[in-house]
Structure formats: C-alpha cells, structure tokens
Amino acid sequence: MSKSQKRSSSLQPLLPFWNHLRKYRLAMSLAILALLSAAGLTLLLPNIVRGMIDNGFATEQTDIIKTHFWLLLGLLTALAAASALRYYTVMWLGERVVADIRAQVFDHVLHLSLPFFDKERSGEILSRLTADTTQIKSAIGASASQALRNLVLFIGAIAMMIFTSPGLASLVLGAIPLIVIPLILFGRQVRMRSHSAQETLASSAAFAGEMIGHIRSVQSFTQESATADNFKRATERAFQAAKNSIGARALLTFLAICIIGTSILAVLWIGINRVMEGNLSGGELGQFFLYSVFAAGSLASLSEVWGEMTLAAGAAERLAQLLTTQADIQSPNANALALPPKLSGKIEFQNACFSYQPASKQIALEDISATIKPGETIAIVGPSGAGKSTLFSLISRFYDLKDGKILIDDLDITQLDLKGLRSQIALVPQDPAIFAGTIQENIAFGDSNASFEAIQKAAQTAAAEGFIQELEHGYETTIGERGITLSGGQKQRIAIARAILKDAPILLLDEATSALDADSEAEVQSALKTLMEGRTTLVIAHRLSTVQDADRVLVMDKGKIIEQGTHSELVKQNGLYAHLASLQLSSSSLEV
C-alpha cells in the first residue's frame, strides 16, 4: 500500500461507497426531503420581505406589516424544523455508513496475508481505518448534504433573480465565471497542501503507535526523552504541513469573500440607481439583493465543500487501495480438497524451499524433506536463524513455498481450504498473544462457541485453574493489553488452555519455559505433556528434557535439516546436536 502523492482531482473514488448508502434508502429519502424543504423555505424569505417593503412600508399599512411578520415567524419555524431533521438524518447516515465501512475495511485487513503486514506499519493501517474513514464520514454526513443544499439554493436563487430582474440577473450570470475560475485554480493548491497535512499526520500517528506498543523497551533503555523528541519533531512536521494548508485555505476564504462581496456590492449599486430611476421598486431590489446573497453564499460554500469532498475522495482513494489489496495466500478458487472428517495428523515436507523475499538470493529454507507420522512428537533444534519458526509459519500456510510441497494427510496444503487447514492446527507461541479482555474471553479465543464448562475444563487441564480462582473476579478478571498483569507462566498456561480448547490434531509448540522460574516451568511442562497426548506435535525445543521426551529430533542449521534421529542416536553422531546437547540446549545459541 503506497502513499498517494497527489490529490484526487475528482470525486470518482467516492462512488464505490455508494453501495453502503443504498442500503439506507429510507433515511436518504427523508434527508433529501428535509433538505429540499429547507432550501425551498429559504427561497421564500425574500418574497415575504418584498411584500413587506412594497405593500407594507411603502403604504404604511401596519396590518400588512404584522401579517408579513407572522408569515416570517411561521416560515422560520418550519425552516428550523426542516433543518433539524436534515441535520439529524444526514449525520445519522454519515455515522451509520462509516461504521459499515470501518467494519468492511477491518474485516478485509484481517484476511490479508502475513507478507502484507511484514511490509506495512500498523500505525499506517490504523490511520486508514480511523482518520480516512472519519474524512469520509464528514463528506457523507455533512459535506454532501451541504453541497446539495447549496446547489439547490444557488439554482433557485438564480432562477428567482431572473424572475425578479432579468437585467440585473444577466450581470450576475456574466460575473460567475470571473468568480469561479480563480477559486477553482487556487482550490487545487489548497487540496494538495491538505493532502500533505494528512500524510504527515498519519506518519506521526504510526510512529506514536509503534513506540507505545514497545513502551517497555523504550523505558528499559531510558529512551523516553529521545522518543518524545522524535515524536515532537514528527508532530512539528505535521503542524507545519497543517499550517500551510490552513494558510492556503484562509487565503482562499479571503479571495472568495473579496471577489463575491465586490460582485454583490457592484450589483447592489446598479440596482440602487435603477430604483432611483424608477425602473425597480425598493421591494424588488431588496428581494434581488437577498437572492444574490443566497447565490453568492451558496457559491462560496460550494467551493469550500468541493475542497472537503475532494479531501474525502483522497481518503476514499487510499481506502480503495487497501480494499483492493489481495491476500497473497488464498484458498483455491474452486475444487478445494476436503480434509478428512478425522485428521490423522501426518505431515510431509517434499523438497521444500522458501525465501521471505521472492527475488532475494537469501534462502530461509532449502530442500527440506521430512515425514512426521500421526501422533508423533518431533523436537526441532538448531541455532538462531536456522529456520525453525519459518517451518511453523509454512505449515500454517502463512507463507507459500518457493519450491516443493507440504502435505497433510497426503493432501497438498495449497489445495486445501485455508480456514479448514488452520482449524486443524493449534499454536502455542513462545510469546503468547494475550488480549485486553477477561481471562474467559482469552481462553475462548480457541473456540468462540465453547461453553463455560469447556473453558473451565481446558483451564484445569492446562494447570491454570489454580491461579485463575485466586484472582478477584476469577474467569471474569479483566487483564491488561498483552496480559501485562499476568506473569510469564500464567500467560503461557492461558495459551495452552486456548490450544486445549481448540482440540486440533496438529500442535505447533514453541517451547517457552526457558524464561520461567522453576515452579512455573514445572507447571507449564506438565500442562504441555497433557496437551501433546494423542496429537502430532512439533516442538521448537530449548530444553534437553523436552528433546529427550520426543520421538525424533530434527536438527536445523542455515535453513537445512542436517541431522535427524532420536536423542541417543544424535549424541553418538557427535555432530551439531551433540554440541548443542553438551550446552544443555538452553544457551542463547538455541533461541528463536
């Protein structure tokens, strides 16, 4: 998703979002009816003023003046009601449609492949989801209705000006191009600067999100001041861009008022002369003047609203870029192979090769061939960067191989339905994902339809029931973002309970006990053994005890399987595994 460096010069990018509006035809119809009513009532005002001047003030008939005042009061009351209804309906539409758009965008983002997230900053994505959709809400909820209202007022005012005084109206119509062309030309500069302000703001928001996400590291390395200074510079750049945009808009406003105001005064001067010559009544001049003010005000508002709409069009363009981004990893379009109702859990790698950058010569995995039998426990060991975690990502098909195949129950995973494949795999990562919510909700992430009894049983099996019951609200205890209030062992046991609840036949376990204290490690190891029973299990091992319990060991180095066998067999070979075993498989050389 690349940044758009130019401003949208048309409103075409907004058209795809019309489908969201079409779902709410009743609200749209009500909004348009209220809008047209308000515009029509506004256009009646000058007629009443004309009648008051010509039939009341000119003849000094108090009853006529009072009648016209009551007419004005009734008309203003009706205008207020129509305007209030218009405001409510268009703002409701804006909020409703943007809520739908945000849901659509978020759903789309969730289904994008990991390579997309490897390249994009999360803050930039969030900016699209929040700032850009807010810009569209402004367009749908306010700008669009203002544009339609002002267009109706402008056309109606021009028509009434022609009806009132064709001669004066011809002067106004001749001056319109002189008014509009400079505003349009200068408006382009305003929109370009506004676009730049949006981009710099998105960049500063992305930086802030990244730093807050790594707040522990920021504070651990005492980088608070340096980070704050960097953000201050980013916000200063955003301020300067916004200042340039504001300055340009202020100058545009100045030009609009000067050009339009001068035009109105010129027409008024000509009109006064015609009244003095007896060619126009005072009421007609008053009526014409009000209509010219309506027309000029509508024209100025249309210029401003056009700027807001093109800003929204730019936001829509960026959202469209995101929505048209296709997932690199997808289920087969047709003829997807069906997994058997009960998966045995056999996994086979056939000459698997993979690189994170397709055009790069740096290979993450090279010519991997191995067969894992159903129910077998395989320990994977090797130095950092050997490709162990990559192996896990490929089994779950977060990435596709460059060459070779991965088979599950003799079925090529690229030919399987993606959700069906991943539903058969449970992952317990080294750093488990804990979400801001209750403990029950976090465990239920493994199966959102699970009953409380099933959740509780999973927690008991994972040796998590004890510490959960000690918490103030038990399973309903709310934990902070990323489980900040829990210990490492507690988070690990919640992740294990989640995997137990999922009850998948294939388990991918990135053993995370090396960073735990002795008591927590013993509890987690016990829970892991329970979890591994009857499942095909691949373990990225950091502990010698885990490797010794495995049926076989795969030793990886530089993206290749260089040794495989049982613990005792590999020790006798006196190769890399024997060296790592002598270090108790817990040194930094084994970290993922």
Residue 491 lies in a domain: yes
Nearest CA among 4, 377, 366, 24 for reference residue 202: 4
Residue 137 vs residues 84, 351, 542: alpha-carbon distances, Å: 19, 52, 51
543-582 burial string, b = 16+ CB within 10 Å, else e? bbebbebbebbbbbbebbbebbeebeebeeeeebbeebbe
379 plus 280 within the same structural domain: no
Residue 43 lies in a domain: yes
Residue 286 vs residues 47, 48, 154, 474: alpha-carbon distances, Å: 9, 10, 17, 75
469 plus 378 within the same structural domain: yes
Residue 362 lies in a domain: no
pLDDT mean by block of 10 residues, the chain; 592 residues: 45 76 87 87 79 65 77 87 89 87 88 83 79 80 77 85 81 72 64 66 73 70 79 79 74 74 79 79 79 79 73 80 85 78 89 83 87 92 87 91 92 90 88 85 87 91 87 86 78 88 89 62 75 88 79 91 90 86 56 36
Domain final residue pick, 285, 306, 323: 323
318 plus 420 within the same structural domain: no
Report d(CA 551, CA 581) in Å as an integer.
16
pLDDT at residue number 7: 44
pLDDT at residue number 408: 93
305 plus 421 within the same structural domain: no
Report d(CA 272, CA 592) in Å as an integer.
86
Residue 367 lies in a domain: no
Residue 335 lies in a domain: no
Tell whether the torsion through CA atoms of 300, 304, 307 and 308 is positive or negative. Answer: negative
Domain final residue pick, 308, 323, 338: 323
Contact between 292 and 260 under an 8 Å Cβ cutoff? The reply is no
Residue 297 lies in a domain: yes
pLDDT at residue number 271: 80
Report d(CA 560, CA 567) in Å as an integer.
19
Domain harbouring 40, CATH code: 1.20.1560.10
Report d(CA 182, CA 178) in Å as an integer.
7
Residue 355 lies in a domain: no
pLDDT at residue number 3: 42
302 plus 450 within the same structural domain: no
pLDDT at residue number 97: 87
Half-sphere exposure of 499 (CA within 13 A, CB side): 29
Domain harbouring 532, CATH code: 3.40.50.300
Residue 360 lies in a domain: no
Report, in angstroms and rounded to the nearest whole number, the Rg of the chain calculated over CA atoms. Answer: 35
Report d(CA 43, CA 198) in Å as an integer.
38
Residue 504 vs residues 372, 373, 380, 499, 536: alpha-carbon distances, Å: 16, 16, 20, 8, 9
Contact between 95 and 137 under an 8 Å Cβ cutoff? The reply is yes
pLDDT at residue number 5: 37
166 plus 69 within the same structural domain: yes
71 plus 157 within the same structural domain: yes
324-345 burial string, b = 16+ CB within 10 Å, else e? eeeeebebeeeeeeebeeebeb
Report d(CA 311, CA 264) in Å as an integer.
30
Residue 60 vs residues 25, 55, 63, 119, 403: alpha-carbon distances, Å: 50, 8, 9, 78, 97
User: Which of helix, strand or coil describes residue 515?
Assistant: coil
Residue 532 structural domain: 374-404+411-590
pLDDT at residue number 336: 77
301 plus 154 within the same structural domain: yes
**Count of structural domains, the chain:** 2
40 plus 133 within the same structural domain: yes
293 plus 415 within the same structural domain: no
Residues whose CB is less than 8 angstroms from the CB of residue 404 and which lie 6 or more positions away in sequence, other chains included: 349, 350, 351, 352, 353, 367, 368
380 plus 302 within the same structural domain: no
Report d(CA 432, CA 491) in Å as an integer.
7
314 plus 427 within the same structural domain: no
Look up the pTM and report it: 0.72
